[in-house]
Amino acid sequence: MTFKTIEIERHGRAALIRLNRPEALNALNSELIAELDSALSDFESDPEIGCVVLTGSEKAFAAGADIKEMRDKNFAEALLENFLGRWDTVARARKPIIAAVSGFALGGGCELAMMCDFILASESAQFGQPEIKLGVMPGAGGTQRLTRAVGKAKAMDLCLTGRMMDAQEAERAGLVARVLPAAELLPEAIKTSQRIAAMSAPAVLSVKEAVNRAFETSLAEGVRFERRAFHALFATHDQKEGMAAFIEKRPPQFQNR
């Protein structure tokens, strides 16, 4: 399938989705969201793909929802067409998604990065929720995911002032997993994605589900959930293979990838 606003590549079992609207700093319009939804849904159901990288350009991961598309919308239109309702494909994906962020990740762009499972950032990355400066507020999870990632003080500071946070601050605050030199960002993101995609898929999906459970439930419930998921993995061939390979000092040959 050919897309107009995104590009896709395959790197073995890792897939790459590159947002590609350079004329608008990758602003997220309906067409881009629909194409992203379509590409991700394909990768979700493709057994040859184990992990996805989502990236933008060197200048911008995404500078937010498309302001030109939004400006004339009224409440009834937004409600009836479920405006931006298709955004959460990224958040609902079962396979891991890594955001590789260079340049601006603002508004909906920052929210999109936060829907991914973790963020690798280049030294040029800038994160922010500048919606307040447009007379609105974050609408795709910004007030919730940012607060969980960086805590109340910094989330309030960013959402109320609309200021940007650079990569170093974002890493210190816990929003970003690792900061890399610009030239290393994409190679490292793809390598990381391939590394995850080489693991046993039931273990990968279970880890993702269990870590996400930490944000939805109490500690005791989360720990119970984790133990059940851990027990369940003993029903897989890959558990036998992974442990045998360790004892026999050889690389594992996982079946369920």
Q: Which residues bind ligand CO8 (CB under 6 A)?
A: 24-25, 27, 63-68, 84, 87, 104, 106-108, 130-131, 134, 138-140
Judged by DSSP in three states, 97 sits in strand
8 A C-beta contact, residue 15 and residue 4: no
Q: Identity (one letter) of the amino acid at 124?
A: S
Nearer to ligand CO8 by Cβ, of 158 and 197: the residue is: 158
From CA 152, how far away is CA 29, in angstroms rounded? 29
65 tagged catalytic? yes
Nearer to ligand CO8 by Cβ, of 47 and 85: the residue is: 85
8 A C-beta contact, residue 21 and residue 5: yes
Nearer to ligand CO8 by Cβ, of 24 and 98: the residue is: 24
Cβ 139 to ligand CO8 shortest distance, Å: 3
Count Cβ atoms below 10 Å from residue 245 Cβ, excluding itself.
15
Q: Single out the catalytic residue among 108, 109, 141, 142.
A: 108
Nearer to ligand CO8 by Cβ, of 49 and 106: the residue is: 106
Cβ 114 to ligand CO8 shortest distance, Å: 12
Residues 6+ apart with CB under 8 A from 121: 101, 102, 167, 170, 171, 176, 178, 179, 180, 185
111 tagged catalytic? yes
| The pair of three-digit structure tokens given for residue 148, joined into one six-digit string | 């969980």
What values do phi and psi take at 33, rounded to 5?
-65, -40
From CA 175, how far away is CA 145, in angstroms rounded? 9
Cβ 103 to ligand CO8 shortest distance, Å: 8
Cβ 89 to ligand CO8 shortest distance, Å: 11
- The CA-based angle 199-86-211, given to 5 degrees, is 35
| Catalytic (active-site) positions | 65, 108, 111, 131
